[in-house]
A and B are shown apart, each in its own frame.
Chain A
């Protein structure tokens, strides 16, 4: 069986998938708003969203605190399912 290869960022780290664009859109935040709230440059938010940069644990905690969600609801090693699908299945199940 062919071993599944993990995706990697441009700096060689394993890609960490995230829901930042969705969470930001839900709250009507710009990249700059979120960047100001967690103390990074707005471009860093862009790189995070694109999966080109994996955050430090400290930044992940800051984002978790800001969105009031557990880290695993924001970041994951596997791609996320669409939120609407998850919510529908949860309601139906």
Chain B
């Protein structure tokens, strides 16, 4: 294949972040969402205004982490078409999808086991439409962001010196 200016892989897109910042963004997205759902559940149970304010703050944390992931190069690295990635980036993306599949399959399997045990033992299961929605959005968030999160978590820092 002849490399011309027309088929060069896209250059790095979005702000470059250190691995520490990328990892903070990943943790903010997933832990922020989990904490938000948990506090929202308690807030609706206790009808506490303070807890609702905490829910809003956790939503901001979650959205900030998610926004940072989506606008940084890791999103591009995980989701760009093959023609826009060079051979190393393609390898990074393929590895990220493999790890994402393993993690996602693990989470779904554990959730299935929990649901089966909860059904038999009377443990908590989502029963209202709002609770089902919280779980559904969580699964959607995980499915949508996991490959980018793996790239963000694993890629080492490199000098921005061009």
> Which positions in A face B, CB cutoff 8 Å?
10-11, 30-32, 36, 38-44, 46-47, 50, 52-53, 55-56, 58-59, 62
Contact = CB atoms under 8 A, between A and B. Distances in A.
B158 A56 contact: no
A27 to B, nearest CB: 15
Q: Is the interface of B mostly helix, strand, loop or mixed?
A: loop
B9 A47 contact: no
A46 B3 contact: no
A79 B47 CA distance: 67
Contact of B11 (A30, A42, A55): A42
Interface in B122-162: 156, 158-159, 161-162
Contacts of A53: 88
Contacts of B91: 11
B156 A56 contact: no
Interface residues of B, number: 20
Nearest 7 A-B pairs (CB), nearest first? A39-B3, A40-B86, A32-B162, A44-B88, A46-B158, A41-B86, A53-B88
Q: Is the interface of A mostly helix, strand, loop or mixed?
A: helix
A53 B156 CA distance: 12
A50 B1 CA distance: 26
Interface string B98-138: 00000000000000000000000000000000000000000
A31 B162 contact: yes
A55 B89 CA distance: 12
B86 A39 contact: yes
